[in-house]
């Protein structure tokens, strides 16, 4: 089944300022961020390895042809991105941001030339130290990242996300940044759906939870209060808020459970119980709960508006 426009836009979202460290969960464990979500799945990795000229590469960074021209790709042929909030080559995408945009991690003493595929100029590349002490590969002045929403070589679902994430050319320049034309669908921000959100309940591996109109899991953030969302900017790209048309609870939702709060940018966000509702950009299909427990502060939401912790879910399911 083809993804709806909302899901396509949802798949294209996330980023990270130091705000993410404060508002989107712990940055203490960034160790898994060097493996993109799509690569962590064995079938996806196998498909990428079989892609040949379509994008797979044995080098850490290589060139591949895409709808956006020749761009940098990672080991499995997955597209690499730069983040315009990274200044002077310093990575700022950590915590929840790095869950959605895994950095390209290399050995601290790696020979950069040995990491590059044919046709790439070693003088363009360097490395930077991340907050957790790991070493990230840099092209030009842009630390390199994968996007969890890309599942196969050739996909550029992260392009233009939040107007701050862009694919990277061989010379280290960002493609489409600075007002250049990009694919309209790929470039659409995902944190404010044009249509009014529809919320319902659905069964999941964590029990019955709230989902949006496309069946995607909804989450609450324990750093929020009932009247205020503190997930803005970079955080909201990784965790797009459920935006509604106005301050009234949408028709069909129980006002005893649901309410609407006003966000810092003046938009209106749906709340269940005491928890403003969010999607997770790393969830690609109904039933996905990849955001569950992220940073020990993000949890799926039950139909009564309560958060479902891993422990509670296990108890409910008899584990």
User: Are the C-beta atoms of 156 and 184 separated by less than 8 Å?
Assistant: no
Are the C-beta atoms of 259 and 250 separated by less than 8 Å? no
Residue 285 has what pLDDT? 84
Q: Looking at residue 281, what is its pLDDT?
A: 81
Look at residues 131, 157, 127 and name the one whose alpha carbon lies nearest to residue 283. 157
- The phi and psi torsions of 269 (rounded to 5 degrees) equal -115, 135
Looking at residue 27, its pLDDT comes to 39
pLDDT of residue 128: 95
pLDDT of residue 58: 55
* CA separation for the pair 224, 271 (Å, rounded): 11
pLDDT at residue 105 in the model: 95
Nearest-CA neighbor of 27 among 300, 296, 306?
296
Residue 122 tokens read as 């070693």
| Predicted pLDDT at 50 | 39
Q: What is the pTM of this model?
A: 0.54
CA 220 to chain centre: 16
Per-residue pLDDT of the chain (319 residues; tens, 9 = 90+): 444 444 443 344 433 333 333 334 433 444 333 444 333 333 333 333 333 334 444 578 999 999 899 999 998 899 999 999 898 889 998 887 888 889 999 999 999 999 999 889 999 999 999 999 999 999 999 999 998 888 889 988 888 887 788 999 999 999 988 643 333 333 333 344 334 458 999 999 999 999 999 899 999 999 999 999 998 887 887 888 999 999 999 999 999 999 999 999 999 999 999 999 999 887 878 998 888 888 788 999 999 999 998 665 444 444 3
């Amino acid at each position: 089944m083809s993804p709806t426009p909302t899901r396509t836009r949802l798949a294209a979202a996330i980023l990270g300022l130091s705000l993410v460290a404060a508002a989107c969960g712990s940055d203490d464990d960034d160790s898994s961020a060097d493996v993109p979500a799509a690569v962590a799945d064995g079938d996806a990795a196998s498909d990428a390895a079989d892609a040949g000229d379509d994008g797979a590469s044995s080098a850490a960074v290589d060139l591949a042809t895409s709808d956006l021209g020749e761009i940098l790709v990672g080991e499995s042929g997955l597209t690499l991105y730069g983040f315009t909030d990274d200044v002077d080559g310093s990575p700022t995408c950590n915590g929840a941001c790095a869950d959605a945009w895994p950095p390209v991690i290399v050995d601290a003493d790696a020979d950069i030339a040995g990491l590059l595929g044919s046709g790439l100029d070693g003088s363009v590349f360097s490395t930077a130290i991340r907050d957790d002490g790991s070493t990230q590969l840099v092209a030009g002045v842009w630390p390199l990242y994968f996007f969890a929403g890309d599942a196969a070589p050739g996909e550029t679902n992260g392009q233009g996300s939040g107007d701050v994430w862009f694919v990277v050319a061989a010379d280290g320049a960002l493609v489409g940044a600075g007002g250049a034309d990009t694919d309209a669908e790929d470039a659409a921000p995902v944190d404010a759906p044009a249509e009014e959100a529809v919320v319902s309940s659905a069964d999941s591996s964590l029990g019955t939870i709230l989902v949006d109109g496309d069946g995607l899991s909804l989450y609450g953030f324990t750093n929020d209060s009932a009247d205020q969302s503190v997930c803005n900017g970079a955080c909201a790209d990784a965790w797009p808020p459920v935006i509604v048309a106005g301050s009234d609870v949408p028709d069909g939702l129980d006002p005893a459970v649901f309410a609407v709060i006003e966000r810092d940018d003046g938009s209106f966000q749906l709340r269940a119980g005491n928890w403003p509702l969010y999607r997770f950009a790393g969830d690609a299909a109904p039933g996905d709960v990849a955001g569950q427990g992220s940073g020990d502060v993000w949890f799926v939401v039950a139909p009564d508006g309560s958060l479902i912790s891993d422990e509670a879910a296990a108890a409910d399911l008899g584990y």
